[in-house]
Amino acid sequence: MAEMRACERCGTAFEPKREHARFCSARCRVAWNRENWNRVNPHQQRWGSENWAEGASERRSEASALGWAIIAMRDTTERLGKVRASDRPQAFAVIGEAVWWVTIVDATLFRYHPEAYEDTLAGLPAAERRLTEGTFTGLRFVRNRMGYYADHADFIQPRRAEDAAGADWTPISEWTWQSLPLPTVESLPPRGQEWEMSRYKAYQDHLARRTIGMAFDRAAAFLTLAARTAEGAGRPGTPGR
């Protein structure tokens, strides 16, 4: 049975898409932020309008930080086409770094720019939206387990030399994600086990047996578009908008 929660703003029961979701929609998340701004940011109430310029500066800094994160993510994913396949340690390290950057940018956009994130998802065709959401969920499974519970080689199938002439120069973006057995989740609490198994299913459905590059191309393209939407709209969730 799907887990249901009560939205912390409107009380509506909803099925969370992410483990730490607190609101039923981006609208409720933004409304809660506006309504509770002074309570969670008492210095804004104390200093009043004279501190607004400082707040605006902080928002510009946040936008700048997001911009740099997008650049770092794109630089890392583009390196997948440049690292020599024969350098296995370097290749695995770059793939792990790409997983980290993609999932951290995704989490940042989802948390701080929910309207832009949801609007960008809503603009995709239904099948592409499901594929995009499944790709991110699968990558979160990789992030949680690769290097901790499983080796990089357990997740990644390099392209063998017999598959193509000159495979040493084949971009590692053409390597594939391996199909994995059920993970061991007994150490997690019951709810954590459910979330980890949902991430595993997404990995199997949307990443396994597909190329590394396909997943990162889709993820980076979506996050770049969502960041542009956020930049064009200002900072969703900021009081006074």
Is there a contact between 19 and 32 (Cβ–Cβ < 8 Å)?
Answer: no
DSSP state of 59: H
The pLDDT assigned to 167 comes to: 53
Q: Which residues touch 225 (CB under 8 Å, ≥6 apart)?
A: 120
The alpha carbon of 196 is separated from its chain's Cα centroid by a whole number of angstroms, namely: 15
**Domain layout of the chain by residue ranges:** 63-233
Q: How far apart are CA 195 and CA 215, in angstroms?
A: 21
Q: How far apart are CA 121 and CA 67, in angstroms?
A: 19
The pLDDT assigned to 93 comes to: 92
Q: How far apart are CA 204 and CA 158, in angstroms?
A: 18
Q: Which residues touch 202 (CB under 8 Å, ≥6 apart)?
A: 134, 135, 137, 138, 141
The pLDDT assigned to 241 comes to: 39
- Reply yes or no on whether the pLDDT at 23 is more than 90: no
Q: How far apart are CA 38 and CA 34, in angstroms?
A: 8
Residue 63 confidence class, pLDDT cut points 50, 70, 90: low
Tokens of 95: 């793939």
The per-type count for the chain, helices as H runs and strands as E runs, is 10, 4
The pLDDT assigned to 14 comes to: 83
Segment 93-109 shows an average pLDDT of 93
How confident is the model over 213-240, as pLDDT tens digits? 999 999 999 999 999 999 886 644 443 3
The pLDDT assigned to 163 comes to: 52
How confident is the model over 115-169, as pLDDT tens digits? 899 999 999 999 999 999 999 999 999 999 988 888 888 999 987 654 555 555 6
Indicate yes or no: pTM above 0.85.
no
